[in-house]
Amino acid sequence: IDIDCGEGDFFMFIVAKAMLYVSFAILMGAFILFTVPKSKRFEIKLSKKVLLILIGLVPLFGMSELLRLTIHLGEDFGYWLTFQNIVFSFEVGKGWIFLTGISVLLFFMVLFNNVAEDRFFAGLCLLLLIGMGVSVGYSSHAASLESFGILAHTLHFLAVITWSGVL
C-alpha cells in the first residue's frame, strides 16, 4: 500500500486536533456549568446524546497523532505492526490508551446518570475530564522535551478548554 504523506495528511491532523479541542471545550464548559446550582446558572440546552457523542469522538480525534506517526513510520515494517508498536511503546500511544480508558468511564457515567441535574456526578465527570486533559499533556510534544513540559502543556490545555468552554 502506497500512502501519500503530503499536505492532506497535515491538514487532516490539524482538523482533528481542532475538533479534539472543540469537543473538550464543550464538555468542560458543560460539566463546569452543571456543577453550579440550577437556580444560579442559566439554562443549558445540551442533550445527553450530544454529550455522549462528544465523549465518543474524543478518542477518535485524539488518535490523529497515532495515525500520523503510523503513516510516516509504517512504510518499512507495515502499517499495522507500526501502529501496534506506537500504541504500546510510545508515550503518545500510552497517553491515548489512558485517554480512551477514561473516555469509556466518562461515557458510562454520563449514560447512566443525569449529570445535568446531579451536581455530584457532574463534579465526578469534571474530574474525569481533567484526567483526560492530563493524558493529552502526557502525550504532547512538550512533555517529551522538558521535565516540566507535561505540566506546562496540561495547564495550558486545561486553561484554554475551560476558558472557551464556559463562554
- Give the model confidence (pLDDT) of 49-92 as tens digits: 999 999 999 999 999 889 888 888 888 888 999 999 999 998 88
Look at residue 62 in the predicted model and tell me its pLDDT: 92
Separation CA 11–CA 59 (nearest Å): 19
Mutual orientation of helices 79-89 and 91-112 as an angle, nearest 10°? 80
Complete DSSP assignment for 119-142: HHHHHHHHHHHHHHHHHHHHTSHH
Look at residue 5 in the predicted model and tell me its pLDDT: 53
Number of neighbouring beta carbons within 10 Å of residue 114: 11
Residue tagged 492532506 (cell numbers): 8
CB neighbour burial string for 53-76, b if at least 16 within 10 angstroms, e if fewer: ebbebbbebbbbbbbbbbbeebee
The three three-digit cell numbers of residue 14, written as one number = 490539524
Look at residue 142 in the predicted model and tell me its pLDDT: 62
* Residue ranges in the chain whose pLDDT is less than 50: 1-2
Look at residue 1 in the predicted model and tell me its pLDDT: 47
CB 35 within 8 Å of CB 119: yes
SS3 at position 167: coil
| Burial of residue 40, with CB atoms counted within 10 A of its CB: 0-12 exposed, 13-18 middle, 19 or more buried | exposed
DSSP class of residue 116 equals: T
Look at residue 19 in the predicted model and tell me its pLDDT: 95
The three three-digit cell numbers of residue 141, written as one number = 510534544
